[in-house]
Structure 1
């Protein structure tokens, strides 16, 4: 990359190296990423591919939002590197559009990703390329930050990409209203990504310049809310704000000033802190999942500074998510939200399954919990989520990233493309594949070396040198070779999943051990180690099944920690929209993929106690099994036998992770087939769909609503309503420009009996609506759907339909979803 002359001085400053132990300033029990070398295996392969992908991104376009907001792009000096910048480097859509702008969030992630990749990479040439690009970014961002050096009304120290500078100035004055008007743009969420990027550029990229930039931006973060009351701050924190409390703890640990600790507490959402002082397994129901996880990461960090209530909240949160809400891949949530027990069917029904960002953050929280407790259960969780979710979210061909991993039987993934989709899971995806070495080994000073994960790797530290050789999970053994003599302890993990026959030897001598099967713990060996000593560990893996959370009709199969899944198409189908583009919802299978009827999937009908007998290990392949999915006497059923293999290895095909498994009697009496037939018919008619109250769906449909509009959840479904005379509006897209026989379907609940509103489409009245006391086809929870024909004159050449519900003198009826449908339902 040719550097603009203006930036050369700044880049040279960034390039000065510092002590490689900067990471231990924040993570004192971890080794620096440079000290761990990944050896040949799936993790190294993923990391190497990801580095290639990172270098394909257009760094200037990722920087454009900051250049624009700093005013640098407005220069008329033709000698400036920023002259005509916006023309040369047009802004990415940044996962937004004219009505929704997250500009700058991916740039922050990208800065972190470059720093992590630089630290983890041991290829000299690639390392130099990553460093050059990292320093270039810091140089441009430094110029942007310095533009505000004389600004004393709320922007000193600021770097940002959203076109809302005036909102920050208002917030600095204590006025939260402008910020709230852009709450759907999640402004602090975007700022957190930039803070984290600067932090990582120092910790992993060895940039002192980034450290000072981080300090200035941390000061901005303190100052911008200094005049916001505690009550108003709680309203600000009702909007997704990333890990702002974590960033303030980063600053506190790096610089030692208590103003950052106080800011971390102010940036902590007290509703979520107080709500998790006891383990309440319903508290998280319906909440936007990844909004919450970073909050508790910050709480855990605050708790480490002797604030027990924060630690308690983080521990209870982790336990609830890991124990009650984690599915077979190690992820959680559907449509970005935590499910209640009553709507757990959505793990299977819905296409938009667990979000990658959630798991990225849960791994980070698990590392922290492991560090302060020493409990091996956190490493057990980490291992399964890493292998089954994080590793599986990379396209092994293109290196593209996955947002939602659908768990609906016979679903498939949608991958991002370089310089197109700028989704949040692209941002965390950029980071994920350089972090595999971060938790393989940890330590407790110079006395104990912990081996947390079984991954081929080499650690070189002043106190410990060790090489781990393994083909795990293809083989169930690993060997640790000591490379540094001394008296210390090596502690390796005994996983809860390990089967009968677990054993280990030191220098080929078997060590007696009383095993606690089914429990995760560390085995400690203390001795005078001599270079060349070997520990050989046998970790027998056994086949087992796990039930879907709160949905026992569905099970998944694990072999040790590895999720086994079946490829149900094997390249025989061209998958619809397998690669996402720049579209706002291109990442979502629910919007872009083609689903199949649940009753057409392979079923396991029979006695559950005998289900494992259906599975046979294939001798010729390392981690391959065959499963008998036949059903005798059912002529329409096409399945017979399928291959089970690691889920992370299945790509570019439909797959099955969860299997319907019940007795013939149970299946015959179930409502699954009937419900699925109705749902399939509705999906076939659906052209576009918006889920009010769900952040990403609203943002993808150019939402607009009156300031008094609010969202909530009623009987497990999300809604949006408005006060009298208020309104709710979304744009639905008729991409095929169908000019006749279309309708709008609205979902209401009779609990809103008597509420009135007017429905208009593109400004033309369609219907006056009054919610009745009873309704045709009303379900047991009071929900009903109603359709309204769209007049032909509206559809003429109409690709976009602005659907508005305007309240009369009553509250606006709560709207649960809106669908644009083909055809008119017969009444």
Structure 2
């Protein structure tokens, strides 16, 4: 990232994530001596308003999510906020986690509103549909009214008001996960400001941060660390964001106080201490530590975030990019024993790993980092949505022969319901990035991107991954020289590039990008071929259990619909995963080495990306299809290979 005195106005707004109000604050921000720029050069994400999805599976998922968001009633989510502020509610509260304790002692009342506010703001930015901007404006105005009625800046929906927060700060035993829940409200207000320029979102956000500052400023460091032993979401990240948006250094100091040194310090030293820890408690912490690194230059925070990411993606993840069992990390020697669980791969964990991956990529572009992002996006996030109802998963089980289970529309409101609302609203946030003179193409998703500072629009047309080709068409106001950076994925068998029909002879750079530098003109066309091959990927520490993948697409065995109906897959209580639909399903083994099985597997023409083994299945051969498309059928991910 360039130093502050070299930032253009638009780049500074994008780097900080500023909305309209923040843009008016920019001259003051750029001249304050306390502004701390990131210590290393990176790239800048495009705003969601600059990217539009075209026809394809991601836009289909976005449209299903949009329908669900519009079907929900904001006043029902605001019920407890108004009650706590002494205002009469306008509608009855929703069920599930919004009015019940999801399990003994855990209260998350109000978390869904934060997710929902962020989702409608991002959906507005992604589509331009003003109905979502109107939702965001209404919710923020209601939250602002609650703050004003209370008079102290706090806004919350706990059934006992501020007591859980007050108890936590006082060092008393407290109910639930109050800071985890507050993080969702912080994040929703931030996203409303950043993505939709929602009036009053930034003042409401700053007022909430000020309440937090006042509430915690007299806590000793030891008391703070004891409080952080309980799940607290991404408080470090959002407070760092408030510091940047409001340009108030004390909130960055507060963000650092919310850093949990029990995990920050060992990970910064390169030590893996994750066994037995709750996965989605940890991941948002490290998203925050990377944000602190960006704003302060503190290398220890960045080292912790990078080592955590490497540990999880390289040692602790399944083929789909998901992790964990029963929401927890487990010893890496136990993958085979955990495979039969119906509570592996919590969707929230994948959501937050993608957020961390994006932050690391922005700081230091790398095709290897994006390889994980692409894998988890297709096989974790795209797979998490029911293509019929638009509802989302909590766990995505590795149990052989199991099915996906989805939340109810109004009686669940799990954490993964909330992150699910966001996931499908922001698919455009990591397809493209930009440097000073470069446009990075990271994902092969049908879409357009407007590089407004250059007067350039690029349209990507593709049926990837059904086909191995994508086309990029350039529309330019005037000829200009810049570099097109094309990611070469690790799975690619030999990428080729042609500009206006002529082959470009170049090799990927150290970061894994093929650079095409030229003077670009209106009508230039770039054709990219990305050959894919079938491969086997062993389960960590269990080489006799393998999953199959084609390019970035993980393949699952389609095992039929015995006992499965769409209505039976919609459940209220995520804790019941594995307690239903447990019909006995025979899982074939595969004869030969993994390489033998790959050679004996052929693509078939009756469905996109479908494969069948031939003569190696015991007692029968298997049909393999994209995991993200197995929505209403029993499936299997990992297969026992038995060398003959």
State whether structure 2 residue 287 is matched by structure 1 residue 300.
no
> Is the CA contact 2:564–2:581 (under 8 Å) kept in the aligned structure 1?
no
CA offsets 1:445-489 (integer angstroms, 9 cap, x no match): 3x1111110011111231231111111001101111111131111
1:142-161 alignment runs, 5 A limit: 142-149=144-151, 156-161=152-157
What is aligned with 1:707? Answer: none
Q: Distance in 1 between matches of 2:531 and 2:209?
A: 48
CA offsets 1:36-94 (integer angstroms, 9 cap, x no match): 11000100110011100111112221111211211213xxxxxxxx4xx4xx4134332
What is aligned with 1:431? Answer: 422
Q: Distance in 2 between matches of 1:91 and 1:340?
A: 38
State whether structure 2 residue 568 is matched by structure 1 residue 578.
yes
What is aligned with 2:75? Answer: 60
State whether structure 2 residue 636 is matched by structure 1 residue 644.
no
Q: Secondary structure at the match of 1:510?
A: strand
Q: Secondary structure at the match of 1:292?
A: helix
1:172-571 alignment runs, 5 A limit: 175-177=170-172, 180-182=173-175, 185-281=176-272, 283-304=273-294, 305-445=296-436, 447-462=437-452, 463=454, 464-484=456-476, 485-500=479-494, 502-514=495-507, 521-569=512-560, 571=561
Cα separation, partners in 2 of 1:514 and 1:492, compared to 1, 3 Å: closer
What is aligned with 1:41? Answer: 56
> Is the CA contact 2:588–2:621 (under 8 Å) kept in the aligned structure 1?
no
What is aligned with 2:14? Answer: none
Q: Distance in 1 between matches of 2:338 and 2:55?
A: 35
1:285: Cα distance to partner? 0.9
1:588: Cα distance to partner? 4.3
What is aligned with 1:92? Answer: 95
What is aligned with 1:610? Answer: 596
Q: Distance in 2 between matches of 1:351 and 1:264?
A: 36
Root mean square deviation of aligned Cα: 2.4
1:683-722 alignment runs, 5 A limit: none
Cα separation, partners in 2 of 1:203 and 1:166, compared to 1, 3 Å: closer
1:171: Cα distance to partner? 5.2
Q: Distance in 2 between matches of 1:439 and 1:64?
A: 35
Q: Secondary structure at the match of 1:147?
A: helix
Cα separation, partners in 2 of 1:22 and 1:198, compared to 1, 3 Å: farther
Q: Distance in 2 between matches of 1:514 and 1:524?
A: 8
> Is the CA contact 1:448–1:491 (under 8 Å) kept in the aligned structure 2?
yes
Moved more, 254-263 or 460-469: 460-469
> Is the CA contact 2:449–2:458 (under 8 Å) kept in the aligned structure 1?
yes
Q: Distance in 1 between matches of 2:583 and 2:81?
A: 40
Q: Secondary structure at the match of 2:71?
A: coil
Q: Distance in 1 between matches of 2:366 and 2:139?
A: 39
CA offsets 1:291-337 (integer angstroms, 9 cap, x no match): 00000000001111210100010010000001001111111111100
TM-score by length of 2: 0.89
Cα separation, partners in 2 of 1:244 and 1:354, compared to 1, 3 Å: same
Q: Distance in 2 between matches of 1:31 and 1:270?
A: 33
What is aligned with 1:754? Answer: none
Q: Secondary structure at the match of 1:641?
A: coil
Cα separation, partners in 2 of 1:618 and 1:653, compared to 1, 3 Å: same
Q: Distance in 2 between matches of 1:211 and 1:57?
A: 24
Q: Distance in 2 between matches of 1:110 and 1:188?
A: 18
Gaps of 5+ in 1: 1-16, 74-81, 150-155, 665-827
> Is the CA contact 2:597–2:613 (under 8 Å) kept in the aligned structure 1?
no
CA offsets 1:165-193 (integer angstroms, 9 cap, x no match): 35367459x5210xx331xx111000000
What is aligned with 2:609? Answer: 623
Q: Distance in 1 between matches of 2:300 and 2:216?
A: 23
Q: Distance in 2 between matches of 1:166 and 1:415?
A: 32
More helix by share: 2
Q: Distance in 1 between matches of 2:217 and 2:584?
A: 53
Q: Secondary structure at the match of 2:351?
A: helix
1:19: Cα distance to partner? 7.7
What is aligned with 2:13? Answer: none
Q: Distance in 1 between matches of 2:341 and 2:261?
A: 32
1:643: Cα distance to partner? 2.1
Gaps of 5+ in 2: 1-18, 30-36
Cα separation, partners in 2 of 1:256 and 1:19, compared to 1, 3 Å: closer
What is aligned with 2:84? Answer: 69
Which of 608, 613, 636 is 1:656 aligned to? 636
1:132: Cα distance to partner? 2.1
> Is the CA contact 1:43–1:391 (under 8 Å) kept in the aligned structure 2?
yes
1:572: Cα distance to partner? 4.4
Cα separation, partners in 2 of 1:278 and 1:662, compared to 1, 3 Å: farther
Q: Secondary structure at the match of 1:499?
A: coil
Q: Distance in 1 between matches of 2:109 and 2:347?
A: 20
CA offsets 1:247-274 (integer angstroms, 9 cap, x no match): 1110111111110110010000011110
Q: Distance in 1 between matches of 2:520 and 2:132?
A: 38
> Is the CA contact 1:413–1:589 (under 8 Å) kept in the aligned structure 2?
no
> Is the CA contact 1:331–1:385 (under 8 Å) kept in the aligned structure 2?
yes
Q: Distance in 2 between matches of 1:306 and 1:69?
A: 40
What is aligned with 2:9? Answer: none
What is aligned with 1:822? Answer: none
Q: Secondary structure at the match of 1:546?
A: strand
State whether structure 2 residue 113 is matched by structure 1 residue 107.
yes
Cα separation, partners in 2 of 1:21 and 1:557, compared to 1, 3 Å: farther
Cα separation, partners in 2 of 1:106 and 1:629, compared to 1, 3 Å: farther
TM-score by length of 1: 0.70
Q: Secondary structure at the match of 2:440?
A: strand
> Is the CA contact 2:321–2:375 (under 8 Å) kept in the aligned structure 1?
yes
Q: Distance in 2 between matches of 1:376 and 1:654?
A: 33
